[in-house]
Structure 1
Amino acid sequence: MCKTNSRYFIFDVPTEPGIKNVIKTGIAVLKSIIYKAILFTANPNIKEKKYKVSVCAIFKNEAPYIREWLEFNHLVGIEHFYLYNNNSEDDYLKVLQPYIDAGMVTLVQWPHNQKQMASYQDCIKKYSCETNWLGFIDIDEFIVPKSTDNIYDFLKTFERKAGAVNIYWRLFGTSGFLDRDLDGLVSEDLTVCWPKYCDIGKCFYNTAFKFDPDSKKNINLHHKFWANHKGIDIPPVNIFNHICVCNRNIADSFDFPIQINHYFTKSYKEYAKKKEKGDVYFTINPHDEMYFYEHEMKCTSTDYSAYKYIVKLKLKFGRKV
């Protein structure tokens, strides 16, 4: 087994060279052709709903970060947020209440530990009727449209040709911060990242398509969202409109039209606190110091794509500088 890098992605999963890989690639190509044919003839019924694009997220003790996350993602076109509180012990409600009062946030109390995927299922069941697109991201993930200025202008081109769209991660490290002033903006402070994109990301579900909650393909909903058309599960496409199947990721250029900035560690001390606070997915958080350095040592590039929104974000916060 060997680790393989493409021109555009850093692959986390080792790839085995040889005939087996050739066969797997051939199967993936055949499946892609079949799924593309299904999508081509699907002709989903596009209805105008309350929101164009919404996000579902589960959080635990994220009060210092929620406001910036909400404001930034709202600036890029997320109209509504379905937030699932997983036993937070901080002052999250003080932060969220103005957004709840303004109708921008629907808050759901979710006391079930390690039930992140179940919270997504609950959101789809209860709220997919309200929004044309429903994304599944975390509080450390910021959507950054690049070819457009808002996410709906990008997603609307997929309304009739995809049940879900996978947007890839741009992974950011500490930018050299041992500690960081929490009054500073995450999206401004952290600019050092991996030189290539991560070959996984997060999905936005096109609610004009059906969803099968019992499908075994939807075990990990936010990374691999399979929509359903006439009883057939359909994998997501990526931002270049290529089918995401058999762990196969195809990019057409280095110029990705949209990305998710994943501020995975923030500063060194924030990473340590993140591990201590518990996790919404893992019973025992595997993100130890070794895991930290495995990611940090890949941070050899910079990305300022988020900066086109920083002035608007600062004005939202009432900043003078």
Structure 2
Amino acid sequence: MVKILAILTLRNEAAFLLEWLAHHRAAGITDFLVFSNDCQDGTDAMLNRLDEMGLVTHVRNDGPYGKGGIQFTAYKLAEKHPLMEAADWVMTLDVDEFVNIHCGTHRITDLISALPEATAITLTWRLFGNAGIVRYADTPVTDTFLRAAPVVMHWPWRAAMFKTLYRNDGTYTKLGVHRPRQPDPARVGQARWFDGEGRELDRKFATGRVFSNYGQSNYALAQLNHYALGAMESYVLKAARGRAVHSDHMLDLDYWVERNFNTDMDRSIQALSQPMQAELEWLKSDPDLSRLHDEAVAWRKTRFMELMLEEPYRALFGRLLTTPPSRPVSQDAARFLTQFANLGRQARRD
């Protein structure tokens, strides 16, 4: 059996964890190495129970943290973990990212079989917008948020960022947020990278790129559904938690506007809806997991009410209510922006 390892870092996201786990078990991930830190909603307790059941391996990441912060400290721990050594393929993910395979039976092994020569496969984000949903509800993310950015985006480049499914063959020795790092000089020359359309990528992807070429489709074989916003209430909680890599930076409207695209309907992830629902029902049949999930849902609702008593979060919520969905930038406008980005890079070199 091909062993596919997902590495995940979590804080206060127990209300979403069971759906995420159910989906990725249905998608064919075999092992989950999950790090938690500073949880108030029972995420760590839920992970302990899942660990007892043999479904994930939970590692507490309580610090101290290196200069890379919480996430990179977790990755350094993961690099030394036995699950990493045993894995055939590895991918770092966040709980708001859902692997969405379009080929075969919609499992990750189908993607690997479609690209048998690949050292690494990029799964480009498809940004799923808020769709005007204000109140947080305990319903599956993949059933709630169905509106997304268009297949072809010309701006911003963040809309074309990817996560990497890569072969754990020693070509890369360090984990990264978007791609494996620290390539072995003796091996990287033979590395072959392919995108979600099945196209072989040029050499710069083997050593440095973190986003796909924009202005084209990148999703024919696979995409990564990115539910970065959620309901407006959930976004207020996300803002209070801080950015994933820079946790001391509060999220604001800039993050929201660059991700709130709702032009297209995309139900493709529901190709795995039946096996995901079966997995989810099985997980919730465990009394401890069911209780912990319900407690996490209640915590989110209480936490939102607490935050709304503070002016920065009340103001943010008001801005979310008044901000319309983001409008995709035209190709001509994107070219105008890109020329200044290129000029800026050239000026820094000079």
Shift of 1:291: 2.6
The answer to whether the 8 A contact 2:151-2:217 is kept is: no
In the alignment, which residue of structure 1 is the partner of 2:249?
A: 285
Distance in 2 of aligned mates of 1:195 and 1:131: 34
TM-score after normalising by structure 2 = 0.67
Shift of 1:283: 3.6
Shift of 1:250: 5.2
Distance in 1 of aligned mates of 2:62 and 2:122: 28
- Structure 2: gaps (5+ residues): 153-158, 283-350
Residue 225 of structure 1, aligned match among 156, 180, 193: 180
Distance in 2 of aligned mates of 1:279 and 1:86: 14
Structural mapping, 1:161-172, within 5 Å: 161-172=117-128
Deviation track 1:22-52 (CA, whole Å, cap 9, x = no partner) reads xxxxxxxxxxxxxxxxxxxxxxxxxx7xx52
Distance in 1 of aligned mates of 2:76 and 2:123: 20
In the alignment, which residue of structure 1 is the partner of 2:108?
A: 151
The answer to whether the 8 A contact 1:54-1:131 is kept is: yes
Residue 269 of structure 1, aligned match among 230, 233, 244: 233
In the alignment, which residue of structure 1 is the partner of 2:13?
A: 62
Structural mapping, 1:42-61, within 5 Å: 52-61=3-12
Deviation track 1:167-205 (CA, whole Å, cap 9, x = no partner) reads 111111112201131x20001000011013632110122
Structural mapping, 1:158-197, within 5 Å: 158=115, 161-181=117-137, 183-196=138-151
**1:204 aligned partner, one-letter code:** L
Deviation track 1:118-151 (CA, whole Å, cap 9, x = no partner) reads 3223313323221100100101111111112200
In the alignment, which residue of structure 2 is the partner of 1:205?
A: 166
User: Is 1:302 aligned to 2:269, yes or no?
Assistant: no
Shift of 1:157: 4.5
Residue 96 of structure 1, aligned match among 24, 47, 60: 47
Distance in 2 of aligned mates of 1:60 and 1:105: 16
Give 3-state SS (helix, strand or coil) of 2:3's partner.
strand
Shift of 1:53: 0.9
Structure 1 residues 81 and 274, CA gap change in structure 2 (3 angstroms) = same
- Bigger share in helix: 2
Give the number of aligned pairs.
261
- The range that moved more, 237-246 or 162-171, is 237-246
Structure 1 residues 255 and 131, CA gap change in structure 2 (3 angstroms) = closer
Distance in 2 of aligned mates of 1:200 and 1:279: 16
In the alignment, which residue of structure 2 is the partner of 1:10?
A: none
Give 3-state SS (helix, strand or coil) of 1:295's partner.
coil
**2:109 aligned partner, one-letter code:** Y
- The range that moved more, 147-156 or 260-269, is 147-156
Give 3-state SS (helix, strand or coil) of 1:195's partner.
coil
Structure 1 residues 137 and 254, CA gap change in structure 2 (3 angstroms) = closer
Deviation track 1:245-268 (CA, whole Å, cap 9, x = no partner) reads 275745985752111111010011
Give 3-state SS (helix, strand or coil) of 2:184's partner.
strand
Structural mapping, 1:7-22, within 5 Å: none
**1:71 aligned partner, one-letter code:** A
User: Is 1:256 aligned to 2:256, yes or no?
Assistant: no
**1:96 aligned partner, one-letter code:** L
Distance in 2 of aligned mates of 1:107 and 1:318: 22
Distance in 2 of aligned mates of 1:196 and 1:62: 29
TM-score after normalising by structure 1 = 0.72
Give 3-state SS (helix, strand or coil) of 1:259's partner.
strand
The answer to whether the 8 A contact 1:52-1:152 is kept is: no
In the alignment, which residue of structure 2 is the partner of 1:36?
A: none
In the alignment, which residue of structure 2 is the partner of 1:115?
A: 70
Give 3-state SS (helix, strand or coil) of 1:318's partner.
helix
The answer to whether the 8 A contact 1:225-1:236 is kept is: no
Shift of 1:237: 3.4
Residue 311 of structure 1, aligned match among 270, 274, 289: 274
Deviation track 1:209-234 (CA, whole Å, cap 9, x = no partner) reads 33244xxxx7xx23232443625475
In the alignment, which residue of structure 2 is the partner of 1:242?
A: 200
Distance in 2 of aligned mates of 1:138 and 1:212: 20
- Structure 1: gaps (5+ residues): 1-47
Distance in 1 of aligned mates of 2:70 and 2:170: 24
The answer to whether the 8 A contact 1:224-1:236 is kept is: no
Deviation track 1:238-292 (CA, whole Å, cap 9, x = no partner) reads 2324226275745985752111111010011111111112344114335302331
Shift of 1:235: 7.6
Give 3-state SS (helix, strand or coil) of 2:270's partner.
helix
Deviation track 1:55-81 (CA, whole Å, cap 9, x = no partner) reads 001111111111111111111111110
The answer to whether the 8 A contact 2:10-2:43 is kept is: no
Distance in 1 of aligned mates of 2:48 and 2:102: 31
Distance in 1 of aligned mates of 2:126 and 2:24: 16
